Every structure is written in C-alpha cells, then in structure tokens.
A = this chain, B = another copy of it.
Amino acid sequence: MSTKNKTKTPVSELRKDLVSNTWVVVADKRSKRPHSFKKKTEKKITGKELKEEKEKCPFCHLEGKENLLTYKKKSGAWSLKVIPNDFPAFVHGTSLNVHDEGPFMVMNGVGFCEIIITRSHTRQISQMTVSEITEIVDAFQVRYLAQMNQRHIKYVSIFQNYGKEAGASLKHPHLQLIATPVVDPDIYRSLHGSRKYFEANQECVHCVMLEWERESGKRVIFENDEFVVLCPFASKIAFETRIYPKRHLAYFERSSTALKIQLAEAIGFTLARIKKKLGDPAYNFFLHTAPCDGRVYDHYHWHFEILPKISVWAGFELGTGTEICSVKPEDAAEILRKK
C-alpha cells in the first residue's frame, strides 16, 4: 500500500481564531475515521438501583446543610438550592499573603466555591422547561453578585461539568460557581485578544464574527430575539457550541429578567439538541464574562461555551495542546440544527 496518491488533496484546514490569534485544525474527512461520533447510550438502571443511588446521593439529602440561596415552588417545597462546596478549592480569607518562593510568586487560594443544585435527581437541564432553567440562570446572577464584591475576588466562574468524562463525580444535576483572586488564563487570553482587536479595528471582535455568522447561517443552530447559538468557525473541538447575546453586552451580571428568560430558552434548546443528536455526551458548559477586578472591559462580549467530550473517544488529538476538530463546525451545526 502506498500513500503517494493520497498526498494531493488536503484532508484538513487550518483556521485562525480571531480572538486568540492561534490556528485550529479542522479535519475534513471524518467519514474515513473508524469511529463514529455518536456515543453508545449507557444501560438503563432499574427502579431499585435508582432508589439506592438516590439514598446515597448527597444532593438528595440537603437537610441541615448551610443554604446560600433557596428557590421554592408554590407548594413550598424547594426547587433549587445553592450550598457551599464541601470540598472547596478556595475558601474565604482575609489575607492573600502574596510572597516569593525562589523565582516563583505564590498566594493563598482565597475565594469561594458553591454548588447550585436542582431538586430532581434525574431531571437534567436538557430536559427542563424554560422557567426551570430561568431559575438556574437567576441563581447564577444572584450568587455572582454576592461573590463579585467580596474582598480579593477578581473573577467568578460559573460552569457545569456534566458526566463522568467531563469531571462530574455525582449524577444529580448540579452546577458550580467558583470565585477566585486571579483571572483564569483562558479568560485572560480571550479578554486580551478581543481588546487587541478592538484597539486595531474599533469594533468588538465577537460582534463582527456574529454579524458574519448570522448572515451566512451555515454554523448557526438557533436564534431567538436576544441570543444566537452557533458552532464557531474556528472550533477547537468537534461540536463546540457557543451561546452569544446578539447585542454587545460585556457584563453578564447586568442581565435583565427578560434577557435571562431568553438565555434560558437558548440554553435549554442547545443542551437538548446535544443530548438528542450526540447520544447524551458528557460536556463542560461555562460562562466567559468580564472580570470583576475593578477594571473596565466594555470591549468584551460575554457568552457561554459548551464543549462536548467526544474528542477523547474519537482518539484524534495532538499531544501538544492542539486538539483536532474532527467534525467541521458547519457539519456539526447542520446536525444540531435538524430536529
């Protein structure tokens, strides 16, 4: 067998990300790979197994736990609770204690870790109604506002790790909030890249990209009055999906009630489609928004990102930090768009 006559047609394309200014690899010939992207669904558990699972689930038994926020149904029963994380990576503290160790700079992990829990053990966000998801979005904002003004806090991360492959250790639906004294490197790069673009072009890089994407429609999955959901042109991994406000909004925490309802609709649609079309994959779902470090980030454009965890079992990545996107974002969008 010779590879000689394979070497003429490119099998992939490099696309330069507008924000990070780095190249991503989008492979063209996924059909030639011996793997399918649809995950095999796990075997159903029996009623007895589910009962046992619920008995052991700490999020089904929150009696006596400190509550940071509780939402209740009309019946009086709780529907959503926010509690401190029992295994926090950061805790409140008065001193950062910044100091040197040899050539390195070190500080205390001052911050806070919270868990947002919805009541049902099995009902995932992808199955929830818009009003249930609006409650989650509302909790994001309430707890964001509570943490952003704490001493030393410079960034508040909001995210969900769904499924074992994405790092979730418990099945019960839950999301997380982590307040940190530094800005996450990914956020920093996103802020830095979008600022550089703004300085060069006097325009928001995300607004420019959104205008082009909405006109083309090729990678757009969903739109409502306020939000657009798309697979980015320079996707890092297969089925990467983003939820953007159509308007230029830098600060998530300033969202109005009307905006939160629209956001909930966009989140619900997107997660339901990913579940249906990709066989309920694990995913990381997170917010990128302006930091709360006292600086001005009016050039930024907040958004949510969803990274389904399918590239690991597609076995298709470099070892150096570059993952190869094995499904073209326009193909991914077509799959997710169709009912």
Contacts and interface: CB of A to CB of B under 8 A. Distances in A.
Given A176-B319, A209-B103, A90 B169 contact: no
Given A25-B109, A90-B11, A106-B15, A286 B319 contact: yes
Nearest to A94: B8
Interface string A203-224: 0000011001000100000000
Given A187-B320, A315-B167, A106 B176 contact: no
A159 B107 contact: no
Interface in A69-121: 84, 87-93, 101-110
Given A25-B89, A91-B6, A106 B320 contact: no
A322 interface: yes
Interface in A157-201: 157, 159-161, 164-165, 167-169, 176, 178, 180-182, 184-188
Nearest to A111: B12
Contacts of A318: 89, 157, 159, 178, 184, 286
A55 interface: no
A184 B320 contact: yes
B316 A167 contact: yes
A177 to B, nearest CB: 11
Interface string A306-339: 0000011101111111101000000000000000
A322 B320 CA distance: 16
A254 B39 CA distance: 44
A28 B108 CA distance: 10
A13 interface: yes
Given A103-B212, A161-B319, A66 B22 contact: no
21 contacts: A2-B66, A10-B91, A10-B93, A12-B89, A13-B107, A14-B107, A16-B105, A22-B185, A25-B89, A32-B87, A89-B324, A102-B233, A103-B209, A104-B233, A157-B319, A165-B312, A167-B312, A186-B320, A186-B321, A187-B320, A288-B320
Given A8-B93, A27-B89, 20 more contacts: A10-B109, A10-B110, A11-B88, A12-B89, A12-B109, A14-B109, A15-B106, A16-B104, A16-B105, A18-B103, A18-B104, A23-B182, A102-B212, A103-B208, A103-B212, A159-B319, A167-B312, A167-B316, A184-B320, A184-B321
